[in-house]
Structure 1
């Protein structure tokens, strides 16, 4: 499932390429035909991401809400203008001036996955993959089950497989966002920290479940959950109300940092203090990018204990029973 950093990257892509333009909207698949007909011809006026949800505003006080869920993705084709806050991602977030093209094992160019203006397709999702060059046909042919296509004169955005794709009024958008926990890139960071601390202090639910609850904190998914808990050396089964407040504050502050890294690099990089070669290896391979996620049966990078995997609220939880005891 796309986690918070991916949705913020997608929103920045929309802000750079779709906002300010009238769009032709269609639903090639047919499942959003009525909604597409309502926004067809309207101008996109703003966009915002909150946690795992994106809200695209159109003239006439109308919003499109998209939640990608487990399988959703946006594909962009045409002339793609890179958002400078992403295109300027430089080496290891300022730790080095190293530059260069780094493709991960799924084919993504981690540093320029949005890229300069070009005729190509760019997939914006958690499982980003390099798609083949397109021919000169415009608009590009529809490929697969496209729920919604938004088309400007030079840019095409195709939505596939979302959990939610619906039109909302401003009041409905506000109500949706009100149900979400704080997002470090949207809310005041200090206020968000205090809110998370107070909510978790009241909960008997395991901290490993609370971090995945979008009503507690927005944007954290399975990867970031496992990595944040390991980095805090926190047992995932501890009831939230029993986790010391300073530990919860540390997790929030770590989330603030990791989310920004994810937005700027396009990867859920959770390893610290890597050498330049180590950083490039981690950017190129997810196996080298995380402390515990997807490492079931392998030795802990810190203590050597076998990393465990178990089900927690229907999702796989990776953790070290020694470091996180």
Structure 2
């Protein structure tokens, strides 16, 4: 499932293609949304934003489309009404004179009023979105300090969208590595300095991944690896999916463990206490 940086980049692409251009045609596959095809034709998309792992499309006329890709949903953009060559099932299509946006395979699509957005069953449970322009480092640090989360295991907590929204499996391992913390503890077991390091890593790596298209590794390390001829897969991460490879920072062998049905990756020398 895409994580916050990928969802925000998708929202940016949709905004570029759709914002402030009259809609020339719409298609909704679900019968419950058919009535909006005529209502919204000729109006404009005013904005597209991410909320956790969902996307909100704001239409002129106080309509907001909520969509969540789940595991298989995918937005695709094309010019001049061309349709992608895919076997996926089309759920939504939005056309203007320059571009067409197609949403395939998504199962959760709803039309809301703006005032209904904060009370949507998914959105109201979200923690602060680490990539939202209004989210500060202090807001993320407050989550790490919050009493409600102290008895939670860090590896589980980082995937809880009610804690900090937008974090998924690759960011989880990368954040713990960058903060230099042992991944096996509950939140209460970390010092104040470690919680500050976790908050800083959460913000820095999420935003770095957004800006780079999915790269969390330090730019200096990436450049060195490029000079050595390493491919993108080897350049991209500190530890995620680098089992049995050497840590870029200390040279120790990266380990993996399964927790809660999903793998975490860590460096024993950089993260585990003696």
Return the TM-score normalized by structure 2: 0.84
Deviation at 1:59, TM superposition (A): 2.5
The correspondence for 1:140, drawn from 58, 83, 92, is: 83
Please name the residue that 1:99 is paired with: none
* Residue pair 1:201, 1:240 contacting (<8 A) in 2 also: no
Which SS does the other structure have where 2:221 is aligned?
A: coil
Distance 1:180 1:318, change over 3 A: same
Distance 1:272 1:139, change over 3 A: closer
Deviation at 1:16, TM superposition (A): 1.6
Distance 1:161 1:248, change over 3 A: farther
Which SS does the other structure have where 2:204 is aligned?
A: helix
Deviation at 1:190, TM superposition (A): 4.0
State how 1:1-325 maps to structure 2 within 5 Å. Answer: 1-23=1-23, 24-27=25-28, 30=29, 32-39=30-37, 40-41=40-41, 42-78=43-79, 138-140=81-83, 143-144=86-87, 145-162=89-106, 164-176=108-120, 177-186=123-132, 187-199=134-146, 202-274=149-221, 276-279=223-226, 284-325=231-272
Distance 1:148 1:281, change over 3 A: farther
Comparing 287-296 with 253-262, which one deviates more in the overlay? 253-262
Distance 1:255 1:204, change over 3 A: same
Give me the whole-angstrom Cα distance separating, in 1, the residues matched to 2:187 and 2:222.
Answer: 35
Give me the whole-angstrom Cα distance separating, in 2, the residues matched to 1:172 and 1:321.
Answer: 47
Aligned residues: 264
Q: Which runs of 5 or more residues in structure 2 are unaligned?
A: none
Q: Which structure has the highest helix share of the two?
A: 2
Give me the whole-angstrom Cα distance separating, in 2, the residues matched to 1:175 and 1:6.
Answer: 24
Task: Show CA shifts across 1:50-108 (max 9, x none).
Answer: 232211111332211122222322111017xxxxxxxxxxxxxxxxxxxxxxxxxxxxx
Task: Show CA shifts across 1:170-213 (max 9, x none).
Answer: 23311243321112332340441343123367431111111111
Give me the whole-angstrom Cα distance separating, in 2, the residues matched to 1:36 and 1:309.
Answer: 47
Q: Which runs of 5 or more residues in structure 1 are unaligned?
A: 80-137
Q: CA RMSD in A?
A: 2.6
* Residue pair 2:222, 2:235 contacting (<8 A) in 1 also: no
Give me the whole-angstrom Cα distance separating, in 2, the residues matched to 1:33 and 1:281.
Answer: 55
* Residue pair 1:201, 1:242 contacting (<8 A) in 2 also: no
Give me the whole-angstrom Cα distance separating, in 2, the residues matched to 1:69 and 1:281.
Answer: 37
Please name the residue that 1:112 is paired with: none
* Higher relative contact order (Cα pairs below 8 Å, separated by 6+ residues): 1
